[in-house]
Every structure is written in C-alpha cells, then in structure tokens.
C-alpha cells in the first residue's frame, strides 16, 4: 500500500471529513473558487488595459531648495554622540 493506492486516499479523505466536517470543507471550496475567479478576472482586466506612456522624469532640484513630502533616509545623531575627528 503506497501513495498511489485508492484505499489510501479514501482513508485520508474520510479522516479529513471527520476532522473538518463537510460544511466547512464546502465553504473552503467555494472561497477558493471565488478567489481563483477573481484572480482570472483581474488578469483579463489587466490584459485589456492599454499601456500608458511613462511620465518624463523631473529635472533635478537646486542644492539649496527645500522639498516637502520627501523621505530622506539617514541616521540622526547628537553632536556629543559623534566621535571626534581624527587628526
């Protein structure tokens, strides 16, 4: 009796039915079917959408200008937390 045996799969199915119940398995199946259908619809909608041309890049700002709403990555430190410059 290996993994290919029909009796093996029938016993596994029976155990799954006993553990989860038929109603819960039916709900899981319908939820999975709705998710697959939604995925297919989204893929078809994406294929039908015309491609928009890329927006031209903005020219660089002058060095002293202030921009609002831009995130700058870095680490803030206090003056006394810094190591003294090496001479």
Does residue 87 lie in a domain region?
no
Q: Is the pLDDT of residue 66 over 60?
A: yes
Q: Is the pLDDT of residue 69 over 70?
A: no
Task: Point out the least confidently predicted range of 8-17, 21-30, 51-60.
Answer: 51-60
Does residue 32 lie in a domain region?
yes
Number of structural domains the chain divides into? 1
C-alpha atoms less than 13 angstroms from C-alpha of 3 in its C-beta half-sphere: 0
pLDDT range class, residue 1, cuts 50, 70, 90: very low
Residue 42 structural domain: 21-49
Does residue 68 lie in a domain region?
no
Q: What is the pLDDT of residues 25-50, one digit of tens each?
A: 888 888 889 999 999 998 888 777 66
């Amino acid at each position: 009796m290996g993994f290919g045996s029909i009796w093996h799969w029938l016993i596994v199915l029976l155990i799954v039915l006993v553990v989860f119940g038929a109603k819960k398995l039916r709900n899981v199946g319908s939820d999975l079917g709705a998710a697959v259908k939604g995925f297919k619809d989204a893929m078809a909608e994406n294929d039908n959408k015309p491609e928009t041309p890329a927006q031209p890049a903005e020219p660089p700002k002058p060095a002293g200008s202030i921009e609002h709403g831009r995130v700058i990555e870095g680490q803030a430190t206090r003056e006394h937390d810094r190591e003294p410059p090496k001479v």
